[in-house]
Each structure stands twice: as structure tokens, then as C-alpha cells.
Chain A
Amino acid sequence: MTHAAPTVRATPSGDKLAIAIEGDLVLETVGAVQKALEAPLATKPRRVSLDLKGVSRIDASGVAVAVRLHRFAKAAGLPFDITGIDGDRKLLVDLALRGQDPQPAQAHLGMVREVGMRAVEGFNTLKDLLRFCGEVSVIALQIIRRPVLLRWNDTLVAMARHGTDAVPVVGLLGFLIGAIIAFQTYDPMAKFGAKLQVADVVGISIVRELGPLITAIVLAGRSGSAFAAEIGTMKVTQELDALRTFGIDPVRFLVIPRMLATLLVTPLLSVYASILGVLGGYIVLGPKGITIMQYLVEVRAALTIGGFLQGLAKAAVFAILVSGVGCLAGIRTGQGPGAVGMSTTRAVVVGIVAIILADSVLGSFFYSLGI
């Protein structure tokens, strides 16, 4: 459809700006009209009027001109009136102008407000964290006293999903990290005639440190995010509320099985990653003339029971952190379609940061014990 090009007449009369529009005021023409109004409005009139008598056609976009002038006048505290319309056109304009008064600008408190909001947010997060830890601890104690309270089937399913299904990726990463450590340390060690001691480096770093760490990071990416997404989606769809109204504690129903499953499978996966990491190291050293027996004997000599248990303890702590952070992120999921995605991201990022922090603390702790 072709439209009559609108003409805009803006006539200053004293301190009043009288605007008259003629032609079609529709989506296709409203942009030009809006542009034509810019200069007259910049003259800072004290009163504005709009005459729409000459408008041959107006649609839901055309009324935007009235909205613009109304908001301009209201923002400047000026009187504004519209003439030349009646009947349905008047109704259309009146409807469009409802609630169009510009909102008063919020007081700008800048940094103080930002710091305050962050502090409150941090405080709420800490409160939720403490409450969550308390609930998990209390329910864990209840389950120890009455194991029938645990949902064993859910726990086994979670063990399969987050343990068995993670075996290939954990094994692959462990193997490759072992090979990379051997590859990177062989040349410097060989300069000192300590080729065989590369096995010590691989064994100690993999079993004490990298085996649990790789496993935990994979779990944070696979399981922590999955926990946050599953529980977060249930929160958004009110399934958590449904559980509560049944009198079922979501922590016992959803969180404990996942945390227990993760706690049980992570040390096993860590041992598995360590074994494959040690084998990965030999892939590099084998072609350098070191036999498998020489290699394994050297690794065994470098490792202590304490070192092995240190790896297991780290894996267990990481498991609690990853699963706890994932489940808590799910429970704290907000509203809206982006909320689950934000919870999932939070679960992975906070999970990995928590793992690294815990590793630093535990590493220092075991070192101070001489383990």
C-alpha cells in the first residue's frame, strides 16, 4: 500500500509550539515525522500542541508521534494538548498515552549503592551456603542413623551416570597428562643423567596431585553442571515446591543421593586416572630404552602409602565440593529462562575455583605434616 507523504508544520507562536500533521501517519511514514520534529522541539518551547485534523490515516505506529510529544512535554513539565481527533482515533491516541509519563530518574548512588548491593548479595550467598551445609550435615547424620532414609536407587543411578559414564574421558585425560609430564621433563632430567627419575616425577605428580585434580575438574564440568541444571530446572518448574508440599525435603531427596554418589565414585575415578597417567608416562619413556619393570619399580619406590592416601583424601574433598556447589547452584536458581544457564555456569566456575583453592590448602596441610 502506498501512503500519502505526511507534512509537518511546526509553528512557533510566542512560547508555544503548534505542530500540525497532514497525510498518512503510519509505520512507513512515522520515522520521517519523528525526524522532522527534532529541530522544533530543540527550540525549548514552553507549551506544545499537536493538531491531527489533517491526518488521513493513523495506525498503531502513527500514535508514536503523540507518545513522543507527550513524553517530551511531561519530562519538561510543559502543558501538551492534542486536537483534531475524535471517535476511535481519539480512543486510539488516549489508549496509547496511558502510563506514558516518564518515570522519575532513580537517585544515582553510584559506587556506594553498588558496594551495598554486592555486600547484601554476598551476605545472602553466605547465608544460603551455611544453611545448605547445615541441612546436608543434619540429613547425612539422620541417614547414618537410619540408612533406610537414603534413596538408594537414585544414588546407584547417579553413580552410574556420574561415575561409570565418566570413565572414558577421565582415563583419556589421565593418560595424556601422564605422557605430557614425561615428555616435558625427560630432556631436562636427562641432562643430569636422571632419565629414570622421570618415573618419580610422573608417579608423584599424578598420584598425589593431578589424578584427583583432573578427575575433579572433569566432574565439575560433567556432573556439577548437570546437578545445577537438573535441580535448577526442577526449581523453575516448581517441582521443588511440590516436594516440599508433600513434606519431602529436597535436600534428602535430590542432594544427598547425588553428593553420596559423587563421593563414592570420585576416589575410584581418581585412582583409575592415576593408573592410566602412570602408564601414559611410560609411553614416552619406553622408546628411550627404559623397560616397563624398571619404570614400575621406580614409580613404586617414589610413592608412599601416605602419598596415595593423600590423593584419595583430596579426591573425596573435591567430590564433596563439586557436588555440593552444583546442587547448591541448582537450589539457588532464580526465575526466567536464563536462570538455569546462569546456575550451570556458576556451578562449573565456582566448582573449579573451589577445587583449586582446596587443593592449595590441602597441599600445604599435607606438606606441613610431612606426607
Chain B
Amino acid sequence: MTQISTATPTTTSGRKVAISLRGVSIGYGDKAIVEGIDLDIYEGEIMFIGGGSGCGKSTLLSSLNTLRAPLSGSIKIDGIEIAGADEDTLQRVRRRFGMMYQLGALFGGMSLLENVRLPLEEFTTLSNDAMDDLARAKLGLVGLAAHADKKPSEISGGMQKRAAIARALALDPPIIFLDEPSAGLDPVTSADLDAMIVALNRMLGTTFVVISHELASIFSIGHRFAMLDGARRRLVALGPPLELRDSSPDTWVRRFLSRTPSGDA
């Protein structure tokens, strides 16, 4: 993997908002897990969203990627309201982002090339050769061009995640959601994946929203970190990760980011 310099300091002033949340409550049925989330995610930002187990980060992701409507509040992606939106609007918004699931969720019966080709076949009128070239280019960007004809079961877990990112990139969306990209990966593979995210972010200007509590990744590539707390049912911290770790007024946030056992003061 080509070495890419890590996160650059982020200034939020004057930047265009890619995703905006106002007063968002998420949960199941009538039961809210987290309430009143106000959050702006800027274009070209690598935003990590995390928190303890069961804090609602995956539920929030499923609201951001339009699969689950929030209980209340407003979520806008590229200025389009998705809370309570009709199916046509949601379909339009879905073209604005790509999604990588925790286990890759590649289609096992297809080769990597076919997996990346699928969105192109569904949403473009390109020729077969052109779609092949595009799919190969995207696999090349994640370092998998030489494995284009392999099935997902023939490659490692880390490679599957990279292939899933290539698939998420298929239609060049400005936003990519990543669900636990480092889960189950060894530190080197995880670092490679982080470097790739930074490279794509820098080269393409893609906004990355990463659900993770992998501290190494949060500190090395995260521009900002939004922390949810299931116990207090709210967003408890938002800012550059190192800054939050060292000087957050919230004890739980400092403890979480410095990996301090709960028994210690």
C-alpha cells in the first residue's frame, strides 16, 4: 500500500455541509436510544462516529444510509431531507453515497469485478468494456486489480473490505459510509485500510463517515470524532479526536479515548 500522509488539521468554517442532522432521535419502535443529535458533517471530511457497545452508532448509520427512518428530527444529505422522505427521494439520495458493511457484504456468487460492475450495470448505460474498465480502475484504487476475477470467498477478510470500498466507489459518490472497517483485521491490514481511506479522501475529495471504536484509526485518520453515549442517550462529544482525549470536559469521553478501565479514576 502506498504510504499516504495522515489526517490534516480540520477547519470547519466556511466548508460546505455534506450531511446535516438536527434534533435527530434514533431507536427501535418507540424506544429512543439516542435523542437530540445535532451534527454537521462537512464535505471532504473523515468523520468517525463511535461510543460504547449499544450506544446506537449502528442504528444511527442505518438512519444515515436511509434504511431506517429516525424517530424524529431532520437528516439532510446534500441538502435533501431524508427523514420521512418518499421512496423516489430516497433513491435519489442513495446515488449520493456508497456503503461498506462490516463484513463487506459482497455478493458471494460474483467475482470482485462483477461486484463492482453491478451498480454500473444498474445505473449507467456504459458499454460492457467501459464498465469492465471502470470496475478494474476502482479495484486498482484499492489494490485489488490483480484479484478482479476471484470470488469473495477466495480472498482474505481485509481484501473483502477493500473490495467492498471499491464497490461503494462504483458510481463515484461524494459520500461513503463505512461500518466498522477495522473490525477483525490485523493491525497492519487495518493501517493499510486507513491509508487507503486517507488517499481516496485526499485524491477524490470523498467524505467518509466511519462507524468505529478503533482508537488507532480514529486518532490516525479521523478529522473529527462524534461520540454517542447510550447511558445518557445523547451526543456527548464532537471534535478532533486528540483534542477530545486530552481536554474534553467529559470524563467518560476522556476515559473512552484514552482506553482507561472503568475501575480507574
Interface residues, chain A, with chain B CB atoms under 8 Å away: 26-27, 30-31, 34-35, 59-61, 63-68, 71, 88-89, 91-92, 94-101, 103, 335-338
Q: Say how far A60's CB is from chain B's closest CB, in angstroms.
A: 5
Whether B203 contacts A337 by the Cβ 8 Å rule is no
Q: Which residue of A lies closest to B133 (CB)?
A: A64
Q: Which residue of B lies closest to A89 (CB)?
A: B203
Q: Which residue of A lies closest to B151 (CB)?
A: A336
Tell me which of B37-45, B65-73, B138-146, B230-238 binds A.
B138-146
Whether B172 contacts A61 by the Cβ 8 Å rule is yes
**Residues 107 to 156 of chain B near chain A (Cβ within 8 Å):** 108-109, 124-127, 129-130, 133-134, 136-138, 140-141, 143-147, 149, 151-153
Q: Chain B contacts of A64 at CB under 8 A?
A: 130, 133-134, 136-137
Whether B172 contacts A59 by the Cβ 8 Å rule is yes
How far is A103 from B148 in the complex, measured between Cα atoms in Å?
A: 10
Whether A91 contacts B199 by the Cβ 8 Å rule is yes
B: contact size bracket: 20 to 34
28 contacts between A and B (CB under 8 A): A27-B134, A27-B171, A31-B126, A34-B126, A35-B127, A60-B137, A60-B172, A61-B138, A63-B137, A63-B140, A64-B133, A67-B133, A67-B137, A68-B129, A68-B130, A95-B2, A95-B199, A96-B137, A96-B141, A98-B143, A99-B143, A99-B145, A100-B145, A100-B146, A103-B146, A103-B149, A335-B153, A336-B151
Contact with A91, one of B2, B130, B153 (Cβ below 8 angstroms): B2
Q: Does B215 sit within 8 A of A, measured CB to CB?
A: no
Q: Chain A contacts of B202 at CB under 8 A?
A: 88
Whether B133 contacts A99 by the Cβ 8 Å rule is no
B80-120 vs A, CB cutoff 8 Å, 1 = contact: the mask equals 00000000000000000000000000001100000000000
Q: Chain B contacts of A26 at CB under 8 A?
A: 172
How far is A91 from B136 in the complex, measured between Cα atoms in Å?
A: 16
Whether B130 contacts A30 by the Cβ 8 Å rule is yes
Q: Say how far A41's CB is from chain B's closest CB, in angstroms.
A: 11
Q: Say how far A223's CB is from chain B's closest CB, in angstroms.
A: 27
Interface residues, chain B, with chain A CB atoms under 8 Å away: 2, 108-109, 124-127, 129-130, 133-134, 136-138, 140-141, 143-147, 149, 151-153, 169, 171-172, 199-200, 202-204
Whether B145 contacts A336 by the Cβ 8 Å rule is no
Contact with A61, one of B137, B147, B152, B203 (Cβ below 8 angstroms): B137
How far is A337 from B133 in the complex, measured between Cα atoms in Å?
A: 27
Q: Chain B contacts of A60 at CB under 8 A?
A: 137-138, 141, 169, 172, 200, 204
Known A35-B127, A60-B138, A60-B204; 17 more pairs at CB < 8 Å: A27-B172, A30-B130, A31-B127, A63-B137, A64-B130, A64-B134, A88-B203, A89-B203, A95-B141, A95-B199, A96-B138, A97-B140, A98-B140, A99-B143, A336-B109, A336-B152, A336-B153
